[in-house]
Amino acid sequence: MHDSIIRHVQENFAITSRSLTYGDGTTGSQRLKQAMAKFITSQFKSRTRVEMSHITITNGCSASIEHLAWALSNPGEGILLGRPYFRGFLSSMTLRTGVKVVPVSFGETDPFVSEAVNCYEIALLSSRDAGVRISAIMLCNPHNPTGRCYSRDLLLKLMRLCEKYQIHLISDELYALSVWENSFDTTPAPNPFESCLSLETRDIINPSRLHIIWGMSKDFSANGLRIGAIISQSNSTLHQALVPVALFSSSSSAADHITANILEDDLWLEDYVQENSRLLSQHYTFVVNWARSNGIEYYAGANAAFFIILNLGKVFQARHTEMTALDAERTINTLLLKEKVFLVAGEDFGSEKPGWFRITFSYPKDWITEGLQRILNVIQTRDPI
């Protein structure tokens, strides 16, 4: 989608001298906050209208994540994070805050349905028994790396869990607009994406405990713009606490201007989202057909984002029975890098079972075709040395 974004930026840039200044301060311009408030209310189907005062702008979502970890936790406290996970969460939440990530394992339980709430509570209680108080649950919905969405029942049960233990719920909804049709998978069937903002949460969770993250990096193919946002509708104290530290995470006034141009253009947005969704569905179908035709297991049920995780280790191990599953994963990773193919290995995204790899499929078809062939060459080799 880069061509579409580039055209819009070039046709509408037209900066004024204001874009060469600090603008309205370190937490985003009033214009951008107003545009984003309208955009989030509409696109996320927010039950309560998002206001400018509900938003803090940061230079990318990593800064938003770090700010929330810092503001909601004391050093030494923990944040629950379900496996598998986006590995960037680990550094964003822990490096400078003194906060600990407490991974949640699910075993044979589907992490995206209501029964998974029990796994979160077990992890919370085990952490507390070990002397680490849990301050929050971190979600990625739609999910990186699986491309799945959380069921409404699970989201509501997690909110009840947070209220029970007086902790916060952070929902990273960075792929909210990158939702597409999956015509393949029925078990598990894909869950529709529902933002936490769209749910009826009255008498379920104190609204001051609910925080959403969104930005331009994924839905608009623009991680270089460095625009992220914390949307918290009932916690003015949080936003006030972020003002002084936002000096270290303020976005560029030019990026602020570009983003406001995009979010204010309703007609262009509608066409963009539809085309992005169509292409993502098409590319997912292409990779799933390739996986099926080559006997490669994939993690089913995706309908959002631009990832698919594949069990490359199983195919490789069938030819190298002397290897453990973890050794096979590490060997595949080494061989792929020699072929100039970079995938994220399961060891790096908290996979509970070794051998799984994340593929990003939102590239031009010729890139994908070449990359898949190199992957196939690696996992089918009988001489891994």
Tell me the two tokens of residue 371: 């990359």
The whole-model pTM stands at 0.97
- Collapse the DSSP code of 357 into the 3-class scheme (helix H, G, I; strand E, B; otherwise coil) and give the result: strand
Closest CA to 142 of 134, 153, 151, 133: 151
Pick the CATH number of 2-265 from 3.40.1710.10, 1.10.760.10, 3.30.450.20, 3.40.640.10: 3.40.640.10
**CA distance to 117, 143, 299, per residue, from 120 (Å):** 5, 16, 21
Interval 350-382: pLDDT, tens: 999 999 999 999 999 999 999 999 999 999 988
Average pLDDT over residues 242-263: 96
Query: CB burial class (10 A; 0-12, 13-18, 19+) of residue 129?
Result: exposed
Say what the pLDDT of residue 382 is: 81
Neighbours of 364 (CB within 10 A): 9
**What are the helix (H) ranges across the chain?**
2-12, 30-43, 61-72, 88-94, 117-129, 152-164, 236-245, 253-263, 266-293, 312-319, 325-338, 365-379
In degrees, to the nearest 5, what angle opens at C-alpha 233 toward C-alphas 258 and 52? Answer: 35
Q: What is the mean pLDDT of residues 247-260?
A: 96
DSSP-derived secondary structure for 77-128: -EEEEESS--THHHHHHHTTT--EEEEE--TTS-TTSGGGHHHHHHHHHHHH
- pLDDT, tens digit, for every residue of 259-283? 999 999 999 999 999 999 999 999 9
Cα torsion 40, 44, 50, 54 to 10°: value is: -70
Please tell me if the domain spanning 2-265 has the same topology as the one spanning 269-378.
no
In this structure, of 13-17, 43-47, 173-177, the range with the lowest mean pLDDT score is 13-17
C-alpha Rg value of the chain to the nearest Å: 21
Residue 184 has pLDDT above 90, yes or no: no
Cβ(247)–Cβ(289) below 8 Å: no
Q: Which residues pair with 103 in a beta bridge?
A: 81
Closest CA to 118 of 74, 147, 153: 153
Mean predicted confidence (pLDDT) in 18-26: 89
Q: Give the residue extent of every domain in the chain.
A: 2-265, 269-378
Which CATH topology does 269-378 take?
Answer: Aspartate Aminotransferase, domain 1 (3.90.1150)
- Residue 161, pLDDT > 90, answer yes
Query: pLDDT, tens digit, for every residue of 113-149?
Result: 999 999 999 999 999 999 999 999 999 999 999 999 9
Tell me what pLDDT residue 10 has.
Answer: 96
* pLDDT band per the 50, 70, 90 thresholds, residue 291: very high
Residue 385: band (very low, low, confident or very high) from pLDDT cuts 50, 70, 90: low
